[in-house]
Structures are given as C-alpha cells and as structure tokens.
Amino acid sequence: GFDAIVVKGKADSPLYIWVNEGEVQIRDASSIWGKSTSETIEAVKSDLGDKAVKVVCIGPAGEKLVRFACISSGFGFAGRTGLGAVMGSKNLKAIAVRGTKRVDVAEPDKLAERSRELSRRLYENSLEGMRKYGTMLGMQAGQHDDRGYGLKHNWDGGVFEEISKINEERVREITVGEVPCSNCPVACHRHTRVTEPEKYAYDGHGPEYETVAMLGWLTMIADIKAVGYMGHLCNEYGIDTISTGSMIAFTMECYEKGWIDETRLGGVKPVWGDADSAIELIHMIASRRGFGEVLANGIRSAAEFIGRGAKEIIVECKGLDYPAHDPRSYYPTAINYATGVRGACHQRGVTAWVPGGFNIPEWGVLVPNREDRYTMKNAAHIAAKCQDWASFSNSLVQCEFMFWSGLTFRDQVELLNLVTGWGLDAEAVAEISERITTLQRLINVRFGVRRKDDYLPPKMFKPQPSGASAGKVPQPFEEALLEYYRLRGWDENGIPTKEKLESLGLTQEAGYLPNP
C-alpha cells in the first residue's frame, strides 16, 4: 500500500487518479470537468463500477483556481488555504482509492481491548449537546453562554438580536439525519433538507457551526434555510465557507461605505442581512464572473484592489480569514492566530476549545474562569501548548472533539504506542510535538515570514459595544508576542535560534536559517 500520495507537475488535460490495492492508474476526467463535488464523486464511482470507492475531488471553484477553493470527500471538506485551487492548477479533478488489505499494528489484542474501553467511556461521557446539535452547539456557546463572540457586522461585534433565527434549534428543524464518522458515538455531522421556499431548496451536508456563523452571523442573514442553502452552494462549488462568509461580509461593508457600488457589482446590492445578494456573490466568486474575479483572489487581494480603507476592515492573518472564534473573548487565541503557521486557524492551535472544557493538565492548559479569559498572563504558554498538541493530534489524524468526551492526552500516547510499538512517554511526545511546530515555522521563515507577519487585524483592537466581552481587547499584545517567542526559543524577529533547533534534533535543518 501507500502511506501518502505526492502529485507533481500539471496534466495536459483533466484527469483523476485511481489507487486500487497498491496499483495506480491515471484516468481521463474530461467528462466530469465542470461538475459539482457531489456529481463528481458519483461519476467517479460509476466509472469505476464500485460504490465502496472513496473519493476526494474539487468542484468548479477549484477548476477556476478560486484562492479559497477546497477539497471535498462528500460529507467532509479540507476547507482552508485553497488546496482545491492547487488540484485545479494541476488539472487534477479527483483521487479515488480502494483498499481491503489488513493494517498490522504492534499489539492488536491490547489495542482492541483498550479501544472497547475507550469507546464505552466516550459514549457514556459524550456531550449530550454534541450528539443533539453537532458543531452547532458552538452557536449556543458563542453568544448565549457568556462567551461573547463578536461576529456581527463583519466583526464589529455586539449582540446579534436575531441569532435565535439561525441557532442550533433552527438547524434541528431542517435536520433529517445524523452522519457519523466510522464507529463514532457522537455523530456530529448533519444531513439537512429544505423543500420550501423553492429558491432555498437543497438536500445535503451541514450546515456546521463555522458555516452558519460566517455566512449568517457575520453577514447578519437571519434565515437558517437561506444560510443552509448558501452552505450547500459552497459545498457543491467546492469553496471554503469560512473565507466565503468573510468575503461576503467584507463586500457588504465596502458597499455600505460606498467604496464599491452596484454598477461595479453587476447590479448586485449586497446589504446586511440580504440572503439573495449573498447567494449571487457566491455564484460570482465560484465562477469568477464579473466582480467575482476580484473576490475570488482572496481577501488581501480584494482589499488591495478596492483601495481606500479596505485594508483596515479585513479580518485575517497571513492571508487566511478568521474563523468564527473571537480573540477578544479569550486572549490566548489572539497569540495563536497571530503566530499560526497557516494564518488564523482554530484547528492548528486549539485555544478556542479551552474555555469550553478542553484541557491538557500535563502541559499546564486548564479551563479558565471568566476573569482569566481576559488576560495576557500565560496566554503565550497556552497558545504554544495548544499549537503543539494540535501538531501531535493532527499527525495522528485524530478528531479533536473526542476530548470533550473523556479522551485524554495520556490516552493518545497509549494508543499511539499500541499501534506502533514505539514506547514513547508523554515527555517524548511533547518534544516531538514542539519539533513539528518549530519545523513548520522554519519552513515559513524560508518563505520570508518574520515578526511583521505575526499580527492582529485592526478590528481586533476595537472593543465590542455590547455583549459578554464588551470593552475587551487582547492587550498588551506585543509583550505577549515577545513572551511567546521567548518560550519557543525564537529570536525577537520570530526566527528559531540555532540552539533551539539543535536541541530538538533539527541540526541539519538549522543550516536553512537565514544569515544574520
């Protein structure tokens, strides 16, 4: 079998890759070029004559090289950073795989026994809300449960009075079933369906919390059927709902300020809360039609093109739009977003989970009380450890949601050893995790990333006018950033020191450090 697939170069015409029991074929994809993600997956399975085949693919947005195009597996999406555009640039429409061979592990009997024990624990301890609402539980936590997120009006914040129209109960009203990952006791994915009004009719995946928050809360669109349809459109086109929601809200604010008008937008009038204009923007972005050509190039590029004060209202870091977790409500998230290896990301550094119950007591990451959420004291430490844990957990390809259900860091280490036989202890895993994060930073440094790239956008220093986090901003930011560098063993410009790299076993990689 294969541990990974590396695709180099660009094909002369559309194709897809078929990996079957260790054999690889390159197959023509001309007939499915232009199809939506769901159509592509069904077409590939039909072409191969096997419904058990697993497929990842791009939609029309990836073909058009939309900078935030994603990769779809049907009910799952590699949503961020534009990997769908990378596939599109190679004329690679899909990758299909099928394998039936046994996967050998170091201690199969002990692993099976431990898996049964953990499955029982996870089922008994699983958050009832996660089973009931899926990730939409985050909507309740985000505003109703004293978290104080400020997404309203493109991150200007304050209480969104109509949030009850797009909350977790409204999603339940359009839910027709749960979709679990294999053997999962939680089943957080949702299968939803809307039949009326006809213009919002769809049958598909989601919407997840991030989708509703970014396409609805951020834009003030208070209609769950419309928001669900918008999410469905993004899924079928193959574009990231987070960045799409950010782009729509940015466009609405630019329109409100008079920096762009309906003539430039081909007759579209994107006002706050208007679902139909937002839907038209999605079509324009995914097809690069009209002003969609500008928006499809990403938030930084669009702000540069529009000019005036547009750069002051975009909410991103390193070009990646903020997800729906507000640093003004938990200050370690500010350090995590600013220093994130791929920009503002709530999964490459899981600080956003901590106020909701995530903790790593072995590393000093504990659930904060209300006062501790609004302090930079220890924020650098928490951000660094949450990033390192994410590096470890992502390397295991493990779901982060299990940690609200009773799975611990020690359990992770034990399972890793039962599978591999490596015999690692928690301290060794901590070093490996830090090495991964540091190596990622070194790669970024080679591409020119420095302290100037570890920033918060202007809106994060503007307090919300109302809500649980009203008046709060993550300061002193610069002091906390320097403390983060110190803890990491990086210099004041955010570059890992030679001594730090060597201490982590990266002696050869230290040769890639820039000249002083």
Tens digits of per-residue pLDDT, 173-228?
A: 999 998 888 878 778 889 999 999 999 999 999 899 999 999 999 999 999 999 99
Across 86-115, average pLDDT: 95
Other beta carbons less than 10 A from residue 91's beta carbon: 18
pLDDT (0 to 100) of residue 26: 97
Q: DSSP secondary-structure letter at 214? A: I
Q: How many angstroms separate the CA atoms of 369 and 379, rounded?
A: 14
Give the chain's length.
Answer: 516
pLDDT (0 to 100) of residue 139: 79
Homologous superfamily (CATH) for 15-98: Aldehyde ferredoxin oxidoreductase, N-terminal domain (3.60.9.10)
Q: How confident is the model at residue 376 (pLDDT cuts 50, 70, 90)?
A: very high
Here the tokens at position 164 are 């009850």
pLDDT surpasses 60 at 142: no
According to DSSP H, which parts of 23-107 are helical? 37-48, 60-63, 83-89
Burial of 224 (C-beta count, 10 Å sphere; 0-12/13-18/19+): buried
Report the chain's mean pLDDT, rounded to a whole number. Answer: 94
Residue 337 makes CB contacts below 8 A (sequence gap 6+) with: 317, 322, 327, 343, 344, 345, 349, 456
Q: How confident is the model at residue 370 (pLDDT cuts 50, 70, 90)?
A: confident
Q: Which helix (H) or strand (E) holds 416?
A: helix 409-420
Across 247-254, average pLDDT: 99
pLDDT (0 to 100) of residue 501: 97
Q: Which CATH number fits domain 326-512: 1.10.599.10, 1.10.10.10, 1.10.3720.10, 3.30.70.260?
A: 1.10.599.10
Q: How confident is the model at residue 403 (pLDDT cuts 50, 70, 90)?
A: confident
Other beta carbons less than 10 A from residue 123's beta carbon: 14
Question: How is the chain split into domains, by residue range?
Answer: 15-98, 145-314, 326-512
Q: How many angstroms separate the CA atoms of 285 and 233, rounded?
A: 11
- Exposure class string for 481-492: b at 16+ Cβ within 10 A, else e: bbbbbeebbbee
Q: Are 170 and 192 in contact (CB under 8 A)?
A: no
pLDDT (0 to 100) of residue 181: 85
Across 222-250, average pLDDT: 98
Here the tokens at position 241 are 């709902």
pLDDT (0 to 100) of residue 459: 98
Q: Do 326-512 and 145-314 have the same topology in CATH? A: no
Q: What is the pTM of this model?
A: 0.95
Q: How many angstroms separate the CA atoms of 275 and 99, rounded?
A: 43
CA dist 322 to 180, 318, 337, Å? Answer: 27, 10, 8
Q: How confident is the model at residue 88 (pLDDT cuts 50, 70, 90)?
A: very high
Residue tagged 């938030």 (tokens): 299
pLDDT surpasses 80 at 146: no
Across 404-408, average pLDDT: 81
Tens digit of pLDDT for each residue in 409-453? 999 999 999 999 999 999 999 999 999 999 999 999 999 999 999
> Is the bond preceding 516 in cis, omega lying within 30 degrees of 0?
no
Q: What is the CATH number of domain 145-314?
A: 1.10.569.10
Which value, to the nearest 10 degrees, does the dihedral of the CA atoms of residues 185, 422, 444, 494 take?
A: 100
According to DSSP H, which parts of 238-297 are helical? 241-256, 275-287, 292-295
